[in-house]
Amino acid sequence: MPAIELSHVTKNWGKFYAVDDLNMLIEDHAFVTLLGPSGCGKTTTLRMIAGLETPSSGRITIGDKVVFDSEAGINVPPNKRKVGFLFQNYALWPNMTVYDNIAFGLKNIKEALPRVHAEARQASEMLKALEKPEELAQLVKDCQGEGGKLDKKRALLHLIDRYGISTFTAEKLLAYKLDQAADPATTAADARKSLEAVLDEAEKSAKAQGLSFNADYEYLRDGVTQTEVRRLTKEEVDRTVRQVGRVVKIGMFMDRYPAELSGGQQQRVAIARTLAPKPQVLFMDEPLSNLDAKLRLEMRSELQRLHLQTGATFIYVTHDQLEAMTLATKICLLDNGTLQQYAAPLEIYKRPVNTFVADFVGNPSINFLPARGTQDGEGTFQLTVMDHYAMRFVPESALDQAALFQEFKADQAAGRDRQAQLKKENADQLFEVPVARVQAPLLEDDKKAYDNQDFWIGIRPENLTIGDEGPLEAEVYSVMPTGMETTVKLRVGDFLLTAVIFGSILYQIGDKVRLGFKGQQAVLFSSLYGRTLCLGKVEVE
Ligand code: ATP
């Protein structure tokens, strides 16, 4: 499976930049989620990689193949990019059975495919099944109905499922009638002899042509697979339909029509249909958004499993941060067409690069505490937090604030800075750091001009402690127990902080409690640049 690389990819409609100068390497086998608020450019990015949208400029490679290059005038159409799509509206054919829905696309494939000795391949599959004749016999016996009559359809499904074979091969296995044999081992031994003869014959004829076989009975010449332009055989189509059906657990619904399936089952059929042609890259645009909460959860774990089983690269669009966090190996977080951060989910959660990222991931959201002060000779920040409290912020490692601010300033001047980029075109959607207060200040007060001494301290709700001990006095403002954990809003002066505690400890609104900070996971942001300075520890004087 290939890696995908985007270099300086931009899509603009006139002055509006849906995606602006995107650079990203999607590694082989990755499960990347494109995450961001509505209209941030997720779908446009996905469509450009897939070939459904033409970038205004830039270059995209899939594996070692350049699929788009604005300067070289290359634009490979979607059907030549070996990619699969799964969209929110998966539209199955209502007049076709599940089987035909999945098989439909496969029947139309006509391309360079490996040359196969079909008879030998089938013989080798049957030989594998016959290795354990007792087990095979028992499997069929278990499908006898009342009065010992064999339920043939059920037996076939079991054989297909157990051995990963096609219906045709399963029928041949069934024809040995091992379940009725007095001694299945002897019957199987006879069968094996004639199958081995088929393999011998195939090997001989291949050798005569200077060819050999791989384990799947595809012809090799000097170790290289031989191909021919052809359609898939009926047997191959069936085998593939059965295999993908097994992966998404719809083997038993093959004869039903879409209307006879639940939403989740239909969605699984859609996934099977997309997987059947074995795409190297699978694009999914909010594929679960039509499903209810429980099914979504179930399908998420299915997708995770599928990603492992297929080994394909998955690119997944969502605006649901929980979905992105739980599924992805890497998250690409976009806002207003610009890349904010591209990293593993927990890295994004723990080390957000700016205030937007910190706010966007995490539920409940991170607390932003306004702070003002300077760095002392030791490197510690001496701050007045929430207009009143003297606190220290101790960086986890040495930090040169002046040098970092120089860097931020240079980035801003060069337009590499998030705020500078946003101001360029899409100014109507500027992000404001949300500070929760008991009473929202008047609008005029809100428009504060920040300088080098203004900071935000970002603290995740789980890093606040509530109890009898703690440096700050707080009052319980609201309590929301969910059973496993409890979200508590606390009033500190005029400000509201959100804490999450494990279990369902009961506080009453108005209770006086002590509040503390734990761990090294607080984040210090510059208010002037909106960017992260460092992680560290908060101490109250
Ligand atoms: P959502 O989560 O709401 O689907 P998204 O992040 O997928 O949003 P895109 O569909 O990529 O967003 O759109 C990005 C921006 O580009 C949006 O502001 C959209 O209005 C704009 N856009 C998309 N297509 C066009 C078009 N054909 N002409 C002009 N603007 C467009």
pLDDT tens digits for range 47-101:
999 999 999 999 999 988 899 999 999 999 988 887 888 876 668 899 999 999 9
- The residue type of 243 is Q
Please give the pLDDT value at position 444: 53
DSSP 218: B
Q: Give residue for tokens 């520890």.
A: 537
Is residue 191 within 8 Å of 133, Cβ to Cβ?
Answer: no
Please give the pLDDT value at position 422: 55
Distance in angstroms (rounded) separating the CA atoms of residues 478 and 476: 6
Is residue 355 within 8 Å of 525, Cβ to Cβ?
Answer: yes
Please give the pLDDT value at position 85: 84
Residue 269's nearest CA partner among 293, 300, 245 is 245
Residue 271's nearest CA partner among 52, 98, 108 is 98
Residue 296's nearest CA partner among 325, 267, 331 is 267
Ligand 1 atom having least distance to the Cα of 334: 6
| pTM score above 0.85 | no
Per-residue pLDDT of 115-162, as tens digits, reads 999 999 999 999 999 999 999 889 888 888 777 788 888 899 889 988
- The residue type of 161 is D
- CA-closest residue to ligand 1 atom 16: 18
Which residue among 12, 15, 16 is best mutated to probe the pocket of ligand 1, counting the most ligand atoms within 8 A of its Cβ?
Answer: 16
Per-residue pLDDT of 125-137, as tens digits, reads 999 999 999 998 8
What is the crossing angle of helices 234-247 and 98-107, to 10°? 130
Please give the pLDDT value at position 426: 56
What distance in angstroms lies between residue 296's CA and the mean position of ligand 1's atoms?
24
What distance in angstroms lies between residue 11's CA and the mean position of ligand 1's atoms?
10
- CA-closest residue to ligand 1 atom 22: 18
Return the structure tokens found at 118.
């079909």
Burial of residue 409 (CB within 10 Å: 0-12, 13-18, 19+) is middle
Please give the pLDDT value at position 429: 60
**Which of the four pLDDT bands, split at 50, 70 and 90, describes residue 277?**
confident
Per-residue pLDDT of 196-221, as tens digits, reads 999 999 999 999 999 999 998 999 99
Percentages helix, strand, coil for the chain, rounded to the nearest 5? 35, 30, 35
| Ligand 1 surroundings by CB, under 6 angstroms | 13, 16, 18, 36, 38-44, 319
Span 431-439, average pLDDT: 78
User: Which residues, including other chains, have CB under 8 Å from residue 175's CB and lie 6 or more apart?
Assistant: none
User: Which residues, including other chains, have CB under 8 Å from residue 318's CB and lie 6 or more apart?
Assistant: 33, 34, 35, 42, 286, 324
Return the structure tokens found at 41.
């450019």
Is residue 187 within 8 Å of 194, Cβ to Cβ?
Answer: no
